[in-house]
Amino acid sequence: MNSALQSAQRIVIKVGSAIVTNDGRGLDHTALANWSQQIAQLMAMGKEVVLVSSGAVAEGMQRLGWETRPSTIHELQAAAAVGQMGLVHAYETSFRAHQIGTAQVLLTHEDLADRTRYLNALSTLRTLLSLKIVPIINENDTVVTDEIRFGDNDTLGALVTNLIEADVLVILTDQAGLYTADPRTDKNATLVSEAQAGDISLEKMAGGAGTGISRGGMLTKILAAKRAARSGAHTIIASGREANVLLRLAQGERIGTQLIATSTPLSARKTWLADHLQVRGKLIIDAGATLAIQMGGKSLLPIGVTAVEGEFLRGEVVACVTTDGTIIARGLVNYAANEVRKIIGLATHQIEASLGYIDDAELIHRDNLVTL
């Protein structure tokens, strides 16, 4: 199989902190100019491009004279606020040289967890792409808290890929791709040219966290590919320092690691349920309910639930968990946690007698349920 980028029409490109900031020494304007030129040529081929860029915190650290990444939220927010100024200006200047406009888009997990804001973000990005503007997306580090932050821009890149239903996610990093072992410590490590996204063995291969400048490591990229595959997108992990890497990929050349999406893409709504919403609680389900959900595509009924964990409201997302602790699905629950505790194990016709009313026959309707 040639590079997936060759036939792709809509592309998300994620660039990491190490290559954006020359390993934390400050913005690498030469690299940014390089990528801007390549993206301009991709657009001339008729491709739509969204850029997810790390580097704001690293640039802020450099401007503030900090040598190590801050660990407290308020310091992280300050570094991001300072660094975002330089990062956005640098991209704007680089793309303007090719008569291409840019737009800054800052997102938090909360933006994609709320259905209305999710759809608003989608509409905005689609409009920008129709106007031939390159959206430059970063996590909104200036307002994040531990509960809503994406955690790394690899995850953000995958969520944006799902959001706009892109064909390919390209993750540019300081490594040549995924290796069978850490090439920095194992001289026998070999590059994985192609594999299936979501293959559990890839997670075992991937190393731990990256440098002190970046948040992620190869594992976050493998997990990002798994997420992107849910909406049918392939992922390419390659070195951002490889000469003309984007153009060569667009011409079909195989560079780095290509992770292929093989499963049937989930619908946009199911993708949103699977990845864009935060789980507020758990429903422990019995073997019968597990079989009905996994094999029969059925709704979850109260009679199949044995226990409830957490506090949640009607309409929030809960996980369906087997008795051995495996999460098999998640969905929008029709009753609050205190109500569910009163009706677990009951048949549908018994709900009204227990609660005094009945809103829905199902705890989670199959249309609002996605298996994992």
Reported as a single tens digit per residue, the pLDDT across 71-121 is 888 888 898 899 999 999 999 999 999 999 999 999 988 888 777 788 889
Structure tokens at 157: 């890149």
Structure tokens at 148: 């809503």
Structure tokens at 158: 């995958």
Look at residue 209 in the predicted model and tell me its pLDDT: 44
Look at residue 76 in the predicted model and tell me its pLDDT: 84
Bridge partners of 194?
A: 258
pTM to 2 decimal places: 0.81
Burial of 322 (0-12, 13-18, 19+ CB in 10 A): middle
Look at residue 203 in the predicted model and tell me its pLDDT: 84
Dmax over CA atoms of the chain, in Å, equals: 70
Look at residue 293 in the predicted model and tell me its pLDDT: 96
Domain boundaries, the chain: 10-270, 278-371
Residue type, 345: G
Please say whether the structural domain 278-371 has been given the CATH code 1.10.340.30: no
Q: Which residue has the tokens 């900090």?
A: 66
Residue type, 86: G
Look at residue 148 in the predicted model and tell me its pLDDT: 54
Q: Which residues in the chain land under pLDDT 50?
A: 209-215
Look at residue 151 in the predicted model and tell me its pLDDT: 62
Same fold, 10-270 and 278-371: no
Task: For the beta carbon of residue 313, count every other beta carbon within 10 angstroms.
Answer: 13
What CATH class has 10-270?
A: alpha beta
DSSP-assigned letter for residue 164: H
Cα separation, 83 vs 186, whole angstroms:
35
Q: Which residue has the tokens 């948040």?
A: 215
Half-sphere exposure in the Cβ direction for 345 (13 Å, CA): 5
130-152 pLDDT, tens digit per residue, is 999 999 999 887 776 655 566 67
> If DSSP codes are grouped into helix, strand and coil, which group holds residue 240?
coil
Look at residue 189 in the predicted model and tell me its pLDDT: 87
CB contact at 8 A, 190 and 179: yes
- Strand pairing class (168-173; 234-239): parallel
Look at residue 145 in the predicted model and tell me its pLDDT: 66
